Amino acid sequence: MTTHAIETRGLSKHYGDLVVLDGLDLEVQTGSVYGFLRPNGAGKSTTIKLIFDLIRPTAGSVTVLGHDAQHDGVLARSGVGYLPQQPHFHPYRTVRGVLSYMAHLSPRAPRGRVLHRRIDELLDQAGLAGKSRRRAGVLSGGERQRLGIAQALIGDPELLILDEPAAGLDPQGRREVLDLIEQMRGRATLFFSTHLLDDVQRVADTVGVLCAGNMIAEGPLGEILEAPAAAYTVRVLGETTPVRARLEQEPWVVGIETHLRGEQELWEVQLAERHAGGLLLDALVDAVGLDVIEFHPTDPSLEFAYFDLVGGER
Amino acid sequence: MTGFWALLRGELSRWVGRRGLLHLLGWTLLIQGQLYLSLTNSWDSYSAFWGFDLVVNLLWLFPPLGAIAVAQSAIAEERAWDTVGWVLARPVTRAAFVTSKIVGTALPLILLAVVTQGLIAYVWVPDIEPERGFAAVEPDLGRYAAVLGVLSLLVLLFVALSVALGTVFRRRATVATISLIVFLLFTFPPGERSATWHEWFPGGLVEGQNNGADYKRISEYLLGGSFDGAGAVAVAAIAVLALTAFGAWRFGHEEL
């Protein structure tokens, strides 16, 4: 068993002078749930097309499940399930027909009666059991997305590649997709691209951040979250103004964002270093005329980390 | 060619049901209806015309046109539906994809438009009274099957041509126009029929006047004569293979 479900080395794709991918090195550990974060136009679709050998790299290589994606493409794709962004199906096929068609194109999918049962199971999970005879061409966007997920699972994949799996879904549908990813944890390697930071934070254990064709950060979620300065949430009552002014003079305080909550104030305190939390607590406890009602580290937010990494504005 | 049989199965499944029935009905009305009208009306232009030459004529004329009409969209509709990448993300080769399009389109058309119609005609055309000048005598079944095989090969050739062109051109109209020009060249090849190259030209198999005096090469064979179109059949078969290989090569180099 290879340690990397997907591995790219120096992967580049140029269209004339336009550089879409520039020497991408990507490693998706077998068994991981890898969130591939990107802003639009960062080269995410190009990366996925290169993984499936739908386009050829200008330079570099892609290995999928231990096989070269370009030279052993059939073997590389044998154990992969794929949900395209905005999945489209042959409009003349029924919902069941789509799953049957995909199953026959997947060497690992069951056959015969077992396949029928498997299709029934997936239709049930996807909430499409009552629509199995409906033409794929008349499905709604959400139904199409759910069918897309079902067809990606029909081949019992070792590696599941989901391109924007929760895009276009309502909150309920989004939750179901994330639950599904959770269920697949440990059964397959999951590689999903998204621009939804919350989704990555909720289910991914590894994150890659792609920006302008370059991987600007890659690693376990915890490491990525530790990158920015620490933050604390503080709720106080009393003589707040002089304390806040004094804190803002401290070298280990980056900034304080204040929100009024009736007579109380809620402070979002950004610290220059994580270990400065103790100094902050000491300063608050020692402050005269100030009641500290709430004090805790702010949940580490991938949003902070992401925009810190890509240099964008929230 | 990994994935060919699964892809072919998917292509053929499209013809099971309404699409297949509509084609069967349409081809039966077109071929048998035209045959019936022609053989039961005393038109001067058809006098002294052998009924089975008319069968050959119709099975040459319409099925290749149908092949162009259906096959010109084989690749284009996959592009329009945005399903090419989805299918090719499975463990299948692009050569298998193109070949399955050719075989999966040609096979149902040959079955419904050539073989079925040929067999139906074989049953009822000999019963037409020869009083109007038709000699509708039943041909030898083996020779008839061979002729249907040659006509099927020509349908396959036009399917392969249209699918191969579909890998080059994105517009259906371009694919259909070029295919129709080739069809016209087949129907009205330049030069004298006796020219040597006509013996090697697949269109030369179906070249001839419809007045009974100058039968098509395959009609002469059907009447009991010797078959001198082996070279043209071989060229047609090689052309099918070459077009399939070209389509697979061209599609294999396309960035999707």
A55-72 pLDDT, tens digit each: 999 999 999 999 999 999
Distance between B95 CA and the closest CA of chain A, angstroms: 12
pLDDT of residue A304: 60
Q: Residue B215's pLDDT is what?
A: 72
Q: Which of A17-26, A88-97, A232-241, A296-305 has the highest mean pLDDT?
A: A88-97
Q: What is the pLDDT of residue A121?
A: 93
Q: What is the mean pLDDT of residues B40-69?
A: 79
pLDDT value at A313 more than 50: no
**Mean local confidence (pLDDT), B43-59:** 71
pLDDT surpassing 90 at residue B8: yes
Res. B49: pLDDT tops 60? no
Which residue would you say has higher pLDDT here, B163 or A230? B163
A167 in reach of chain B (CB within 8 A): no
Average pLDDT over residues B243-251: 96
A154-158, A262-266, A271-275: least confident range: A271-275
pLDDT of the residue at B43: 57
Quick one: average pLDDT of B219-239?
88
pTM, whole model, 2 decimals? Answer: 0.82
Tell me what the mean pLDDT of segment A138-152 comes to.
89
Give the count of beta carbons closer than 10 Å to the beta carbon of residue A139: 21
Count how many domains chain B has: 1
pLDDT of B140 above 80: yes
Within the 266-295 window of chain A, which residues sit less than 8 Å (CB to CB) from chain B? Answer: none
ipTM of model: 0.84
Q: Which domain holds residue B167?
A: 4-252
- Measured CA to CA, the distance from residue B216 to residue B46 in angstroms comes to 15
pLDDT at A314 over 50: no
Pair A81, A153: CB distance under 8 Å: yes
- Which residue, B154, B152, B151, B138, is CA-closest to B224? B138
- Residues of A in Cβ contact (< 8 Å) with B3: 74, 105
Q: Quick one: pLDDT at residue B83?
A: 94
Burial grade of A314 (CB within 10 A; 0-12, 13-18, 19 or more) = exposed
Residue B129: the pLDDT is 66
* Percent of chain A at pLDDT exceeding 90: 37
- Round to whole Å and give the CA distance between A170 and A32: 26
Q: In angstroms, what separates the C-alpha of A84 from chain B's closest C-alpha?
A: 7
Q: Which of B52-56, B171-175, B241-245 has the lowest mean pLDDT?
A: B52-56
Q: Where are the beta strands (DSSP E) in chain A?
A: 4-15, 18-29, 33-37, 59-64, 67-68, 80-83, 159-163, 189-194, 206-211, 214-220, 231-238, 253-261, 264-271, 290-297
Chain B: give the shortest CA distance to residue A85, in Å.
10
Burial of B79 (0-12, 13-18, 19+ CB in 10 A): middle
Dmax over CA atoms of chain A, in Å, equals: 77
Give pLDDT tens digits for B177-210.
999 999 998 888 887 777 777 778 888 888 776 5
pLDDT tens for each residue of A176-234: 888 888 888 888 999 988 877 778 888 888 888 776 677 767 778 777 666 555 778 88
Whether A272 shows a pLDDT value over 60: the answer reads yes
- Hey, is the C-beta of A89 within 8 angstroms of any chain B C-beta? yes
Flag if A78 and B9 touch (Cβ within 8 Å).
no
pLDDT score at A224: 67
Mean pLDDT of A237-247: 89
